[in-house]
Structures are given as structure tokens and as C-alpha cells.
Amino acid sequence: MVEEVVAWEEELNRFAERLGSRFRRVEPRRRVLGYLRGLLSPIDRKNGWQLAEWLGDLRPDGVQRLLSAAEGDAEGMRDDTRDYAVAHLGDPEAVLIPDETGFVKKGIASVGVKRQYSGTAGRVENCQVGVFLGYATEAGAALIDRSLYLPKEWAADAPRREKAGIPDSVSFATKPQLAQEMLRRAFEAGVPCAWVTADSIYGSSRDLRMWLEQRGQPFVLGVRSDESLWWRGFVQTEAREIAASLLPENWRRLSAGKGTKGPRLYDWVWEPLWRLQITEEEKKWGHWLLARRTIEPDEDEEEFAYYVVFAPRETTLEEVVRVAGMRWRIETCFEEAKGECGLDEYECRKWEAWHRHITLSMAAYAFLSVVRASCQKGARMPKPMS
């Protein structure tokens, strides 16, 4: 047991050294390790003051310099975090999951803050919203990319942008557009995966669906109940109408994965959608509407949910149900990264500082996921990354 703890300590040191190499000066390089240890520590709140106290500093100046002033590369740290997670958790059958989470804030100075819907709170709040990309396998899950959602009011306000340090290259982008950019980075980096899944915020973007289809990337994407889909030839029909027209005997009760109370059982049905397919390559792919019905509806869950599926024709209903169920894994990532790695416990107002803290929190969570996966397998510390 002692040997394993020492091995994990050495692994964290190596990971921190790799992340720290993205900074130009020695002091912030060294501070990266302390910051990660603080995020992984049991202290109550992982903000600047408490992290500084935990590190033995009298003031939070050093922590604040790491996030705001030190010359560093947050995008490089993001890539290092992704590569670390994939090196230890990677699987060709993995699922990529774009999703967003809210960070409730006071005032109007924090970059990107406004009154907007927060899925975390379940209502409109004064908050920031971050869009993330999750990576989920049977071994574990991690957050491998992130971007702060910049509302139109912020994107068009030059003085506010300058004060918050928003780069000139950053313009307004919708959440699906941010998700597409993160998926593009993952694909170009060679991240192994078999599927993409997401909720209706992303699945109802026809541009995102078409982009994935053009890449030949299978997906199970949520859509709104009134999403118009091509069905039975040149006819557009809303998703809910298609599902309602299907015979009761076509529905099947299947598990979408394990939940806290056992298998998450729902009733499922799927129906082929029409697509113009001319080439032999196009004919290898199938398009379906997938519908889910809760067995015992409650106040926290809609009775019906709808998905558009794009996959090879031989794909089974059991497989797409499994993929649809994987979307919950990113919600667990958010909950655990906030509860255990300080994802939401920052006091940053500027663009670069937000991305640095969030990335280091993602790195801490990736390390935690790797430790957990190794312990669950009863394995020793995996070999270090090259």
C-alpha cells in the first residue's frame, strides 16, 4: 500500500512537471504542483486564499500570479490534460460528450457573466457558463476540453472585453459551435472514440449533426420534441409525432446503464429516418429516431426524450441505448470535479485566469479518475507517459 501511494505521488509530480513546462519561469512551474495538490486536498474551499494558506503562503499573491500574470500557455495545459486522460483511460469504444455547466457569480465584472439559464441551478441565474468535452470509457471518465461561453453582449462590448482580457481572436459562438470546435480538436489529436452523444442543446443543431455525418462519426444526439425530421420520403415530421405513431409492441424495456439505485430502466423505440443516399458508402449508414419513455415519470424528468442516431446499418438498439446512457457520465464529472477538485471554487474575473484555473481543475480530476480506475482494477500504478 505504501509503495502504491509513493508511486501515485511520483506520478502526480511527473504530471505537474509536464503541465508546469507550459510556463516560462521557474516559480509558476513549481507552483503548478502545489496548486494541483491543493485542488486534490480535503480543504473546505479551494479558492485563492485557502489554497494559499494550505500551501503555507501568507497571502494569495503567488496563486493569483499563476492564474493571471505568469507567462503561460493554458491551451497547452489543456492538451496535456487531454493526452494524460487518453493515455490512461483511452478506449476505441469511448464516447465523447459535449455539455455545459453553470458557475453562479455575483456582480457584472467576471468575464462572460450575465443572467442566463444555468442547468446546474435549473433556472436563470447570474452566472458564467462553460462548455466542456467529456471523455467516457468503461475504465473511467474525464473532462478533456473547455471553453467559456461568451454571450453576445460581451462579445460586442469592446471596453468590457479589454478589461476582462478577452483575446481579439475570440468572437461570439453558440454552444454547439463551441462543442464542434472541441470535437474537431479531439479528432485531430487522434483521441480514440466510437461515438458522440449530447443533449438537445447540441443535437438540435443541424450544422453539428451534418458536420459529424460528413466525418463519418457515429452519434446519438438528443433533439427537441418538435424537431422536424425527414421520415418516409419527402415528408418532415416532428420527433414526437413519429414516436407517437409507432405501435406499442415496438417499445422495448432496456437499461441505459447503472445508476445509484441500480439499472436505469426505460422503454425505448427507434424508427428509420429517410436520407438521400446515392453512393455505396452512404448506403452503409443508417439514420434513426430514438425515443425514450420513463417508466415512472417524476417532477425531475420529462416523460419522453428524443434522439437522432447516425451509425452503421448493422448497429443494434441495445448499442445506441448504451451510448445514450453514457451522457450522464459527464454530469457525474461536473459533480465530482466541483465537489472534489474545486472546478467552481475560483475567484477569477479575467479570460486567461478562468481558463487556467478550469484547466488545472480538469487536470486534478483526470488524475483522480486515473487513480480510481487503477484501484478498481486492482492494478498497480500505470507506466508513466513518455
Average confidence (pLDDT) over 161-176: 96
Calculate the alpha carbon distances from 20 to 34, 68, 254, 368 in Å.
11, 15, 46, 18
pLDDT at site 260: 75
* Least confidently predicted of 94-103, 290-299, 353-362: 290-299
pLDDT in tens, 185-224: 999 999 999 999 999 999 999 999 999 999 999 999 999 9
DSSP reduced 3-state for 167: coil
pLDDT at site 2: 67
Residue with the larger pLDDT of the pair 378 and 85: 85
Question: Is the pLDDT reported for residue 240 higher than 90?
Answer: yes
φ and ψ at residue 377, rounded to 5 degrees: -85, -10
**Hey, what's the cell of 332?**
457525474
Calculate the alpha carbon distances from 145 to 79, 96, 133, 358 in Å.
8, 11, 5, 10
C-alpha span between 368 and 361 (Å, rounded): 11
Residue with the larger pLDDT of the pair 347 and 259: 347
> For the chain, what is the mean pLDDT?
92
pLDDT at site 385: 41
pLDDT at site 283: 84
Question: Is the pLDDT reported for residue 356 higher than 60?
Answer: yes
pLDDT at site 383: 45
Question: Do 149 and 130 touch, CB atoms closer than 8 A?
Answer: yes
pLDDT at site 223: 98
Q: Any idea where the domains of the chain sit in the sequence?
A: 2-193+331-377, 200-326
Residue 6 pLDDT level (bands cut at 50, 70, 90) = confident
Contacts of 294 (CB under 8 A, 6+ apart): 266, 267, 301, 302, 303, 304
Residue tagged 480514440 (cell numbers) = 192
**Tally of CB atoms within 10 A around 43:** 15
Query: What does DSSP say about strands 285-294 and 219-223: parallel, antiparallel, or unpaired?
Result: unpaired
